[in-house]
Structure 1
Amino acid sequence: MGTEDGERGGLRERKKQETRIALSWAAVRLTIERGLENVRVEDIAAEVGVSPRTFNNYFSSKGEAIAARHLERARSIAAELRAQPASKPLWEAINDAALARFALGQEGDGRNTHDQQWIAGVRLMIAEPALQGEMIKASAAAEAEFAAAVAERTGTDVTSDMYPKLVAGAVTAAFGVAVEHWLRADPSVSIMTLVSEALHRLSAGLPAP
């Protein structure tokens, strides 16, 4: 009976996580298509087939739902890093973990990341002043999540050793720069190429060009 309860509990948690991700993607997609001011909580909930009350069980605002994509991506990269072989060098493991998650289409809801209309919409969305506070909070949580994964992998203490936080801060900055270049590139370029290049430069110690 205990096993059955555990399975049901695990299923409920998976369904909740799936709903959270679906609501976040719907918020991103609708905002890119319509602009933040033209998207209501009711619209986001309807896209997923749930009630506005259900939306409010997961997020306190549209901004939080949108920023959740950034946090979920960081969590998935951290989980992928933990799953990398222990024998693999740290920066190689970080690069492989990042590319594994970006390869799932996390920048475009499964869309082609060379789609200029989508890229233009993302650019406008992240420039929204109303989203800045939520994005900063999500970035801080994402960095902490990644630092914990680095600490586990390197046997360091995230509270007393600067190393995992330094690595997490550098990787977070690399992702941010890669995404910025992806949004501005003309002609368009693969986000995965930019992420990999940024991480390789970090791992090399950022030698002068």
Structure 2
Amino acid sequence: MTPAEQVRPSEQPGLRERKKRQTRVALSQAAIRLCVMHGWAAVTVEQIAAEADVSVRTFRNYFGSKAEAIAAAHLERMLSVADDLLARPAGEPLWDALLHAVLGQFSPSPESSSQSDRWRAGVRLMLAEPALAGEIVRTNAAAQHELARAVARRTGTDAERDVYPKLVAAVVATGTGVAVEHSLRADDPAPLGTVVAQVFEQLSAGLPQP
């Protein structure tokens, strides 16, 4: 079962599935928070479970490792982008709708707002962890698949047969990744939302040469 199938077994999940997704989100956020604040090596699965107020057995029911738990945050974010995209007004241009949907998922967290420099440094160290790289690649593939499905519904194309929705999903995933990387590593960092808006402005204009 793919990561996306674990959190989206149907288009309209029932209460049980929504609660399972909420638990996944809580565990993923707890893993990120602890690893950013205390360092990858210092954080255990037991600590993550306690932070999310669940048992270790519950953690194991959802994730095989803390790397998998952390990478799941990206999938959850892109699932929310896909949901928000489909909820946007039908007549809104696609790239305007995508911008609003993406920006809605990139508001600063309380931790990143109150401890900006420390938080950014911790995120950089966490993302550099080799154990996380493979999980991020796998999760990103699932995230792009789900977003392509939403783009296809929005544009009347076919997510399996047509190139367009796949291309848009790949561009959105890459663009948001570039925005996050730039925001984390710039010498004079701008707020992530500002960088995301700049990225999408350039994408919607067709990436004109500066």
TM-score (ref. length: structure 2): 0.90
Give, in whole Å, the separation in 2 of the partners of 1:141 and 1:113. Answer: 32
Q: Which amino acid aligns with 2:189?
A: S
Q: Secondary structure at the match of 2:104?
A: helix
Residue-by-residue CA offset, 1:91-114 (whole Å, 9 max, x unaligned): 1111111112223x3xx3664187
* Runs of at least 5 residues in structure 2 that lack an aligned partner in the other structure: 1-12
Q: 1:15 maps to what in 2? A: 19
Q: 1:81 maps to what in 2? A: 85
Q: 1:163 maps to what in 2? A: 164
Does residue 1:43 correspond to 2:47, yes or no? yes
Task: Give yes or no for contact 1:114–1:188 (8 Å, CA) kept in 2.
Answer: no
Give, in whole Å, the separation in 2 of the partners of 1:151 and 1:162. Answer: 10
Give, in whole Å, the separation in 2 of the partners of 1:111 and 1:129. Answer: 23
Q: Secondary structure at the match of 1:124?
A: helix
| Runs of 4 or more consecutive aligned structure 1 residues displaced over 6 Å after TM superposition | none
Identical-residue share of aligned pairs (%)? 56
Give, in whole Å, the separation in 2 of the partners of 1:116 and 1:19. Answer: 29
How do 1:120-159 and structure 2 match up within 5 A?
A: 120-159=121-160
Give, in whole Å, the separation in 2 of the partners of 1:109 and 1:152. Answer: 34
Q: Secondary structure at the match of 1:186?
A: coil
Task: Give yes or no for contact 1:178–1:198 (8 Å, CA) kept in 2.
Answer: yes
Q: Which amino acid aligns with 1:144?
A: H
* Runs of at least 5 residues in structure 1 that lack an aligned partner in the other structure: 1-8
Q: 1:4 maps to what in 2? A: none
Does residue 1:96 correspond to 2:97, yes or no? no
TM-score (ref. length: structure 1): 0.90
Give, in whole Å, the separation in 2 of the partners of 1:204 and 1:29. Answer: 36
How do 1:16-31 and structure 2 match up within 5 A?
A: 16-31=20-35
Give, in whole Å, the separation in 2 of the partners of 1:81 and 1:154. Answer: 11
Q: Which amino acid aligns with 1:190?
A: P
Does residue 1:196 correspond to 2:162, yes or no? no
Deviation at 1:16, TM superposition (A): 2.1
How many residue pairs end up in the alignment? 198
Task: Give yes or no for contact 1:25–1:109 (8 Å, CA) kept in 2.
Answer: no
Q: 1:6 maps to what in 2? A: none
Give, in whole Å, the separation in 2 of the partners of 1:75 and 1:114. Answer: 27
Residue-by-residue CA offset, 1:44-101 (whole Å, 9 max, x unaligned): 0111221110100111110000001111000001100000011001111111111122
Q: Which amino acid aligns with 2:196?
A: V
Q: Which amino acid aligns with 2:102?
A: A
Deviation at 1:186, TM superposition (A): 2.5
Q: 1:70 maps to what in 2? A: 74
Give, in whole Å, the separation in 2 of the partners of 1:69 and 1:16. Answer: 14
Q: Which amino acid aligns with 2:62?
A: Y
Give, in whole Å, the separation in 2 of the partners of 1:184 and 1:198. Answer: 16
Which of the two has higher C-alpha Rg? Answer: 1
Q: Secondary structure at the match of 1:56?
A: helix
Going from structure 1 to structure 2, the CA distance change for 1:111 and 1:154 (only over 3 Å counts) comes to same
Q: Which amino acid aligns with 1:158?
A: A
